[in-house]
């Protein structure tokens, strides 16, 4: 009788050796590829078509074997795709919500039938794809397609959306952008669309940073889903075994979407390293994409060792070939290149920390803010840490959990939009009551370095006859009325530009913006931590102060804009009401729904410091609307009043001085609009800019505000009723859009066993 060579379960667990690799059959995928002659064209108008010039490129699997060829599009193909999308939008948007929902539900059925083929195709190109997750995504957005006219009656779709992706973008991330657009009644094109009304960048930050879309009149957002650096924090109260198992699975997978940095509390670092050595024993080398990547990994490891890092490796380092063993770089500094700019490969930097505060500091050290994983059995510590981390998703005792019912929002350089949940739908909608989006245009030929440098010469108010000389106003910085740093002023002309000088305003510049931002940064964290009811009381107090000075401010509006006294008083009254509405908003908006398993929190957070360049139209009402939206959500604000009509806002400074708002929370700087726009755009601390101004200013901001990434809200400043936003309206969808522009979302996952 032959002796069986099969090992027992006990022997397998003692040796922890790899078993024989399962031979995965890809017959279904191969048959589908053969059906298409292993040549895939462009999918336009519901069918595969060849590119205009017939060019194609080959796609290979992990072993270098050619899987198929794919068409390479050129400008003519993009135009054809765009025209098809425009025609499709007319048909798709004309369907009822129930009809669109049925179409998406049919996709659920089709995906269930062909899920095996899709999984095999993803396996061929080494792209992680869960059919169950895609089915859940389709089901979620088919239900939102059904509910659009019920729960989103005051919103209308933008039109055609274009999504630009990189080759590393996961299929799930792509569909997380495409499906909500379809559910809201829009069509989609996966290329840069010259007819599109909305442009999305998925893991294309370098293309976005070039400002390639500046001046095109297309709203743009960016959402890097691959390549971010994320902290994996292990506290001394964590289950070390579980934490090490999960960090091994996350950090050393063959194709990972993010780079993890392991942060371990000093009191348990020896235990964590010991568990890592045990788990990493006899792990196989990871195959890298190319020899060049192997050289980059070698250089990164050598540099880390020179800076004092020690290595924990699973096996000996092969002397040649595009392979490298899983490696932990112990004792690296937060400023080490392997932490700030990680290279692709199985490397895991390990940083130690002492206190909980230091852990948060390390977690926020990265320029990215995509996600973080926290490991502790102390729920209070976990929630406090999650609240302090500037990331979009926080996983407690888990990692890489996702569900379409909760929003995914990138913080800092990890994006400017929100995907998932109900919150992710609004990027494809606009309030029905608002003005139409900016018209499509061609970029203006301009010298970005010279923008904002041409200013009118400053004037000093005459003092020969103080009784008759125009009044000199002050700007508002750090809770105090003050002159500009330069000490110069500019003249404010009466309506029509004739009849002398009405007043003199400070000629603010870059140093004034610097001082205002410094004051705002100091006060904003404390203001954000205040309860919603406390912020509401401050806004009610501000409204009461405005009402007490309504006569003076109405007189300023009348003098500055030429409106009648009755119209000026009506604008003041509407401004008082608008501040009261924002006060009521403070504690009324809650987070998103709970996922199917475990518990989760979805909460809106303040952006930080917001720069605002105000419009000319309704100078007081527009100012209090924007002011209320920003500070009601916990932000600090630096405002640049209308260069044409600054006096109503300067008169409002007296209301700010008598309010109980913290000093530095609201700052008002007057001067050249273009010059101050340049100063706001180039300040690294400002997180978002809301701009009402010229087409050149919009183009400059799109070109400049890419590093670090800033959220932009760009509007034309077209005075009059045609196409101009009606600030006198207080429609719920209009205020909700303003509120959503002032927040970013954070999801905290607490899974159950």
Question: What secondary structure, in 3-state letters, does 204-255 show?
Answer: CHHHHHCCCCCCCCCCEEEECCCCCEEEEEECCCCCHHHHHHHHHHHHCCCC
Q: How confident is the model at residue 14 (pLDDT cuts 50, 70, 90)?
A: low
Query: What is the band of 596 on the pLDDT scale with cuts at 50, 70, 90?
Result: very low
Q: Which stretches within 53-96 are classed as H helix?
A: 75-94
Q: Residue 70 is encoded by which pair of tokens?
A: 């794919």
User: Starting from the edge strand earliest in sequence, which strands make up the sheet with 503-506, in order?
Assistant: 471-472, 503-506, 489-492
Task: Report the C-alpha gap between 268 and 271 in whole angstroms.
Answer: 5
Which range, of 307-311, 325-329, 485-489, 593-597, averages the lowest pLDDT? 593-597
749 versus 520: the higher-pLDDT residue is 520
Instruction: Evaluate whether 66 touches 59 at the Cβ level (below 8 Å).
Output: yes
Superfamily covering domain 235-400: Aldehyde Dehydrogenase; Chain A, domain 2 (3.40.309.10)
- Which of these, 514, 539, 703, 717, lies nearest to 613 by C-alpha position? 717
Q: Any idea which residue has 């309860």 for tokens?
A: 531
Whether 594 has a pLDDT exceeding 60, the answer reads no
pLDDT for 637 equals 97
CA distance 236 to 375: 9
Q: φ, ψ for residue 577 (rounded to 5)? A: -65, -40
Measured at the CA of 266, the angle between CA 261 and CA 271, to 5 degrees, comes to 85
Confidence category of residue 717, pLDDT binned at 50, 70, 90: low
End-to-end CA distance of the chain: 46
**What is the number of other CB atoms lying within 10 angstroms of the CB of residue 14?**
10
Bridge pairing between strands 418-419 and 408-409: antiparallel
Q: Which residue has the higher pLDDT, 121 or 327?
A: 327
Task: Specify the pLDDT at position 124.
Answer: 80
- Pick from 55-69, 369-383, 667-681: least confident: 55-69
Under the banding of pLDDT at 50, 70 and 90, the label for residue 205 is: very low
Bond prior to 14 in cis (omega within 30° of 0): no
What are the pLDDT digits (tens) for 650-700? 999 999 999 999 999 999 999 999 999 999 999 999 999 999 988 888 889
Bridge partners, 505 (sequence order): 490
Residue 745 three-state SS: strand
Average pLDDT over residues 371-385: 93
Distances (CA, A) of 296 to 108, 248, 275, 338: 43, 22, 28, 11
Residue 584 Cα distances to 165, 423, 581, angstroms: 41, 20, 5
Contacts of 193 (CB under 8 A, 6+ apart): 78, 81, 82, 85, 160, 161, 162, 199
pLDDT band, residue 61 (cuts 50/70/90): confident
3-state secondary structure of 283: coil
Q: How far apart are CA 139 and CA 107, in angstroms?
A: 9
Residue keyed to tokens 């890809």: 26
**Residue 198 pLDDT > 70, yes or no?**
no
Q: Look up residue 462 and give its DSSP letter.
A: P
- Number of C-alpha atoms within 13 angstroms, CB side, residue 706? 21
| Residue found by looking up tokens 């979620």 in the block | 140
Residue pair 248/380 in contact (Cβ under 8 Å)? The answer is no
The yes-or-no verdict on residue 78 having pLDDT over 50 is yes
- Structure tokens given for 682: 């180039």
For residue 80, CA distances in Å to 73, 76, 86, 87, 217 come to 10, 6, 10, 11, 21
Kind plus residue range of the DSSP H or E element containing 365: none
Contact 523, 664 (CB under 8 A): yes
In tens, the pLDDT along 514-535 reads: 999 999 999 999 999 888 888 9
What is the gyration radius of the CA atoms in the chain, in angstroms?
A: 29
User: Token pair for residue 558?
Assistant: 């009348």
Percent of the chain having pLDDT more than 90? 34
* Cβ burial 197-223 (10 Å sphere, 16+ → b, else e): bbbbbbbbbeebbebbbbbbbbbbbbb
pLDDT at 724 over 60: no
> 510-529 vs 673-681: helix axis angle to the nearest 10?
60
Q: Find tokens 């048909």 and name the residue.
A: 91
The pair of structure tokens assigned to 334 is 């937060």
Q: Is 114 exposed, middle or buried (0-12, 13-18, 19+ CB in 10 A)?
A: middle
Residue 649, CA atoms < 13 Å, CB-side half-sphere: 34
Across residues 360-379, what is the average pLDDT? Answer: 92
- Contact call for residues 546 and 571 (beta carbons, < 8 A): no
At 450 the pLDDT is 84
Label residue 262 left, alpha or beta by phi (over 0 means left) and psi (-120 to 50 means alpha).
beta
Q: What is the mean pLDDT of residues 445-466?
A: 64
Lowest mean pLDDT among 278-287, 314-323, 662-671: 314-323
pLDDT at 465: 42
Q: Which residues contact 373 (CB under 8 A, 6 or more apart)?
A: 230, 231, 232, 233, 246, 247, 250, 260, 394, 395, 398, 399
* Predicted local distance difference test score (pLDDT) of residue 225: 61
* Residue 495 burial by Cβ neighbours in a 10 Å radius (0-12, 13-18, 19+): middle
* Residue 723 scores a pLDDT above 50: no
Q: Which pLDDT score, from 0 to 100, does residue 116 have?
A: 87
Q: What is the pLDDT of residue 197?
A: 46
Query: Is the bond preceding 73 in cis, omega lying within 30 degrees of 0?
Result: no
The mean predicted confidence, pLDDT, of the chain is 83
Closest alpha carbon to 375 in 228, 246, 257, 229:
246
pLDDT at 235: 96
Q: Do domains 97-223+415-443 and 476-532+602-745 have the same CATH topology?
A: yes
User: What are the structural domain ranges in the chain?
Assistant: 25-94, 97-223+415-443, 235-400, 476-532+602-745
Residue 587 has a pLDDT of 75
Cβ count within 10 A of residue 259: 23
Helices (H), 466-564: 510-529, 532-548, 550-561
The predicted-structure confidence for 132-182, as pLDDT tens digits, reads as follows: 889 999 999 999 999 888 888 888 888 888 888 877 778 888 888 889 988
Closest CA to 100 of 41, 143, 61: 143
Say whether pTM exceeds 0.75: yes
Of 395, 355, 388, residue with least CA distance to 374: 395
Tell me which residue of 37, 60, 66 sits closest to 50, measured CA to CA: 37
Q: Which residue has the tokens 């297309």?
A: 218
Residue 13 neighbours by CB under 8 Å, 6+ apart: none
How long is the chain?
753
CATH class of 476-532+602-745: alpha beta
CATH architecture of 97-223+415-443: 3-Layer(aba) Sandwich (3.40)
Q: What is the pLDDT of residues 18-36, one digit of tens each?
A: 555 444 557 888 888 888 8
* Nearest Cα to Cα of residue 676 among 459, 517, 519: 517
HEC string of 544-572 equals HHHHHCHHHHHHHHHHHHCCCHHHHHHHH
3-state secondary structure of 184: coil
The region of weakest confidence among 28-37, 90-99, 329-338, 461-470 is 461-470
Count CB neighbours of 257 within 10 A: 21
Instruction: Say if residues 417 and 200 touch (Cβ distance below 8 Å).
Output: yes
């Amino acid at each position: 009788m032959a002796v069986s060579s099969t090992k027992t379960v006990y022997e397998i667990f003692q040796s922890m050796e790899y078993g024989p690799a399962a031979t995965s059959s890809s017959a279904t995928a191969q048959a589908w590829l053969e059906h298409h002659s292993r040549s895939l064209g462009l999918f336009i108008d519901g069918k595969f078509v060849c590119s205009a010039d017939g060019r194609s490129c080959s796609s290979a699997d992990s072993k270098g074997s050619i899987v198929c060829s794919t068409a390479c599009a050129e400008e003519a193909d993009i135009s054809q795709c765009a025209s098809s999308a425009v025609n499709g939008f007319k048909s798709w948007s004309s369907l009822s919500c129930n009809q669109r929902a049925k179409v998406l539900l049919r996709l659920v059925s089709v995906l269930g039938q062909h899920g095996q083929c899709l999984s095999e195709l993803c396996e061929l190109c080494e792209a992680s794809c869960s059919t169950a997750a895609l089915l859940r995504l389709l089901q979620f957005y088919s239900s939102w397609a059904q509910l659009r006219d019920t729960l989103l009656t005051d919103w209308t779709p933008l039109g055609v959306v274009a999504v630009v992706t990189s080759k590393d973008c996961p299929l799930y991330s792509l569909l997380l952008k495409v499906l909500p657009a379809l559910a809201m009644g829009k069509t989609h094109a996966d290329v840069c669309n010259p007819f599109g009304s909305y442009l999305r960048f998925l893991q294309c930050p370098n293309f976005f940073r070039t400002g390639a879309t500046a001046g095109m009149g297309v709203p743009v957002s960016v959402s890097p889903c691959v390549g971010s650096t994320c902290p994996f924090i292990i506290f001394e109260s964590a289950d070390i075994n579980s934490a090490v198992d999960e960090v091994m699975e996350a950090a050393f997978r063959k194709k990972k979407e993010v780079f993890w940095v392991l942060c371990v509390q000093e009191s348990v670092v020896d235990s964590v390293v010991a568990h890592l050595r045990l788990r990493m024993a006899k792990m196989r080398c990871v195959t890298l994409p190319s020899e060049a990547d192997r050289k980059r990994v070698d250089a990164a490891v050598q540099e880390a060792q020179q800076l004092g890092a020690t290595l924990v490796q699973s096996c000996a380092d092969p002397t040649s070939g595009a392979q490298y063993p899983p490696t932990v770089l112990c004792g690296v500094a937060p400023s080490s290149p392997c932490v700030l700019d990680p290279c692709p490969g199985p490397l895991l930097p390990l940083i130690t920390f002492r206190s909980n505060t230091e852990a948060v500091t390390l977690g926020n050290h990265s320029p990215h803010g995509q996600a973080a994983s926290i490991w502790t059995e102390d729920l209070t510590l976990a929630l406090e840490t999650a609240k302090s981390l500037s990331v979009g998703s926080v996983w407690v005792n888990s990692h890489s959990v996702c569900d379409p019912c909760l929003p995914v929002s990138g913080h800092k350089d990890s994006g400017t939009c929100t995907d998932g949940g109900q919150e992710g739908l609004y990027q494809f909608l606009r309030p029905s009551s608002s003005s139409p989006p900016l018209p499509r245009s061609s970029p203006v030929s301009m010298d970005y370095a010279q923008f904002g440098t041409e200013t009118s010469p400053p004037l000093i108010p005459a003092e020969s006859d103080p009784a008759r000389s125009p009044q000199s106003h002050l700007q508002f910085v750090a809770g105090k009325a003050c002159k500009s740093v330069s000490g110069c002023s500019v003249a404010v002309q009466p309506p029509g530009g004739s009849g002398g000088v009405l007043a003199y305003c400070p000629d603010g510049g870059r140093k004034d913006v610097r001082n205002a931002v410094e004051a705002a940064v100091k006060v904003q964290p404390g203001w954000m931590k205040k309860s919603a009811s406390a912020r509401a009381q401050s806004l009610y107090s501000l409204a009461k102060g405005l009402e007490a000075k309504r006569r003076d401010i109405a007189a300023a509006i009348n003098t500055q804009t030429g409106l009648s006294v009755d119209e000026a008083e009506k604008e003041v009254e509407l401004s008082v009401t608008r501040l009261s509405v924002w006060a009521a908003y403070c504690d009324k908006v809650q987070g998103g729904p709970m996922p199917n398993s475990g518990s989760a929190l979805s909460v809106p957070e303040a952006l930080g410091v917001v720069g605002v360049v105000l419009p000319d139209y309704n100078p007081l009402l527009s100012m209090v609307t924007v002011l209320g939206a920003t500070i009601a959500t916990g932000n600090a604000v630096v405002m640049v009043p209308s260069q044409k009509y600054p006096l109503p806002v300067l008169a409002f400074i007296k209301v700010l001085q008598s309010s109980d708002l913290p000093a530095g929370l609201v700052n008002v700087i007057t001067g050249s609009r273009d010059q101050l726009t340049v100063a706001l755009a180039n300040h690294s601390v400002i997180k978002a800019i809301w701009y009402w101004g010229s087409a050149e200013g919009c183009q400059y901001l799109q070109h400049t505000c890419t590093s670090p990434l800033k959220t932009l809200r760009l509007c034309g400043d077209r005075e009059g009723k045609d196409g101009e936003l009606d600030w006198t309206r207080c429609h719920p969808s209009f205020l909700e859009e303003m509120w959503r522009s002032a927040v970013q979302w954070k999801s905290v996952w607490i899974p159950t066993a």
